[in-house]
Structure 1
Amino acid sequence: MVIREAIKADLPAIAKLWNHYILNSTYNYDYEPKTADFFEKWLKDREDLNLPVFVVDVEGELAGYGYYGQFRGRDGYLHSAEHGLYFDEKFQGNGFGRVLLEHLMKDAKERGFHTMVAGIDSSNPGSIIFHKRMGFEMVGTFREIGFKNGKWLDCVFLQKFL
Structure 2
Amino acid sequence: MNYSIEEMKLSDWEQVKDIYLEGINTGIATFQSEAPTWESWDKGHLAACRFVARLDNDILGWVALSTTSTRECYAGVVEVSIYIGEKYRGNNIGSSLLTKVIEQSEEKGIWTLYCAIIRENIKSIEMHKKCGFREIGIREKIAKMPSGVWHDVVLMERRSKVVGIS
TM-score (norm 2): 0.86
More helix, by proportion: 1
Pick from 53, 56, 81: which aligns with 2:53? 56
Structure 2 letter corresponding to 1:155: V
Gaps of 5+ in 1: none
Residue of structure 1 in register with 2:150 after alignment: 152
TM-score (norm 1): 0.88
Partners of 1:73 and 1:23 lie apart in 2 by: 31
SS in structure 2 at match of 1:94: coil
Residue of structure 2 in register with 1:69 after alignment: 66
Counterpart contact for 2:49–2:105, Cα < 8 Å: no
Partners of 1:121 and 1:73 lie apart in 2 by: 25
**TM superposition shift of 1:45:** 6.1
Gaps of 5+ in 2: 161-166
Counterpart contact for 1:8–1:40, Cα < 8 Å: no
Cα displacement string for residues 55-113 of structure 1 (whole angstroms, at most 9, x for unaligned residues): 10012210000011222333222111110110012111112111110100111111111
Residue of structure 2 in register with 1:21 after alignment: 23
Partners of 1:94 and 1:7 lie apart in 2 by: 23
SS in structure 1 at match of 2:12: helix
Pairing of 1:1-162 with structure 2 (within 5 A): 1-31=3-33, 33-34=34-35, 38-43=37-42, 46=45, 50-148=47-145, 149-162=147-160
Residue of structure 1 in register with 2:164 after alignment: none
Partners of 1:140 and 1:78 lie apart in 2 by: 22
**TM superposition shift of 1:42:** 2.4
Identity of aligned residues (%): 25
Cα displacement string for residues 42-61 of structure 1 (whole angstroms, at most 9, x for unaligned residues): 23664xx5333211001221
Partners of 1:45 and 1:130 lie apart in 2 by: 24
Partners of 1:156 and 1:95 lie apart in 2 by: 21
Runs of 4+ displaced beyond 6 Å: none
